[in-house]
Structure 1
Amino acid sequence: MSRLRRDYLTGDRRQVVVVLVVSALSLTFLNFGTTNPAWFVSLLEMLGAGGWAERARSAFEGSDSAQLNRLVFWGGGQILAYTLLPIAAVKLVLRDRIENYGLRIRGVGSHGGIYAVLLGLSVPFVVIASYTPAFQAKYPFYDLAPGEGLWPRMAIWWVIYGLQFVALEFFFRGFMVHGLSPRFGYLSVFVMMVPYNMLHYGKPVLEALAAILGGIILGSLALRSRSIWWGVAVHVGVAATMDAAALAHKGFLW
């Protein structure tokens, strides 16, 4: 019995515990640490950096680029939440290669066709959803002022937004799916799908429901191809379509 207890957290069982605990910690920081930069200003004040705290407060609240600064804080926080602890866990705890968690590039070209079909099927639903008030109230995240062009602030935001999707795909379809698959196999996709769906609870209900199907499909394809990169392309493509549709409805594209 004692030997069984000693051996319980070995091999793939140990990996499951590491992946799930790290995922919970990362998602907790994602929820509480990226939505409001006020905690960052307070932290600077607690550390005695009053001057830096005032500069940060001004950047987030009083400057002409306050909206962009808040979004960059959010996007940067999301990228860190999705990557920092998982990469540290893979390299330092699991002693594995990060490429084994969905970052493989070689051979992924053969899987591009099915992702292209998936993107093509998604676009009409995005366009239809874009006519709803809830969609137009949510997107794009950066609100253009009357007469403001897409350059430079919207363009800067789109770069951060795109990198955030790379980090998101790595976390859900890379770290979680590939980290849990040695123990759970294909069921790792459904374990990942639950928190991925919950990530969409603050968004329009149709998008939250679509995240269930989307999470299963993208997770299954990532598990099959051993790569997240086509999933990143689909996610970025759908997000670009959503922003373009919302901007078109608001009269910013023509």
Structure 2
Amino acid sequence: QMSHVLADGARSSALAARLFGRAVDIAPVPAPRPRAITLPWRSFVAARAHRHLVRDTESGRVPAQAPSRPALRSNARPASTRSLRTLVRHRDQLPGPTVTIGVLCAVSTALSEHLRELGDDPSTLGAEVPMAKATAREAHNSFGNVGVGLYPELAVHERAARIAADLADRRRRAEHPAMRAADRAFAAVPAPLLRWGVDQFDPNLRSATVTGNTVVSSVNRGPADLRFGDAPVIVTAGYPALSPMMGLTHGVHGIGDTVAVSVHAAESAIGDVDEYVARLDAALG
């Protein structure tokens, strides 16, 4: 396991690649400057940038924030048995214009069918997708989660187009200067105040709405040039962690032309994991 305190998905993949023989430079993260006196100024800049974001959103120059959606069975608190499963495909076998969109389309089909059988209405189904920050890296953990619709009622080609549009909208909004200003203001918060804020978090509280009903985390780990001793690395997988409001996650990890689609599930959220994975296997084609 690798903590996000050390690295996000892209950076941890680069670190692992170096361990397994790839000659790759790991760019250092700039050391933070003393921030005790920067919080008031950065807060002012962030507030001003946020007002610009609101105006740009109202005028249509920037896409609106992704809507929240109702929590479903897959958002149940992880309990009982937790399972890991992995499906492997050649890149050309996956539908859609990109690997990520192809897997999102397949998850839409499989999860909507599975949740419907469990008694849920999946018409508002959506996914939480980690997305790399659009600005230069200023932290070891440089990404944000965005919400995208999964549109299970649409045919696959229409669904892929809508998912692609959602991802593009989320990227455009993330590129607004207000997002970086907010990050920089947050980074200037003194550590004791941050710790106090973390202590206020109650993991036992439940929310009726969520960013997504599952997580789909996708990382391209580059060419198939890694080795473990004399053995070539032919597949690489990752299993995003579960959380109090997320009992089902997916990892999508490619190396060369091989893509691993991983499932991390709690029985409380998904019931029979093998039944769900069979549906996902069929949807992937």
TM-score by length of 1: 0.29
Answer 1 or 2: which has greater helix percent.
1
Higher strand share: 2
What is the TM-score normalised by the length of structure 2?
Answer: 0.27
Instruction: Flag the structure with more relative contact order, 1 or 2, with Cα contacts below 8 A and sequence separation at least 6.
Output: 2
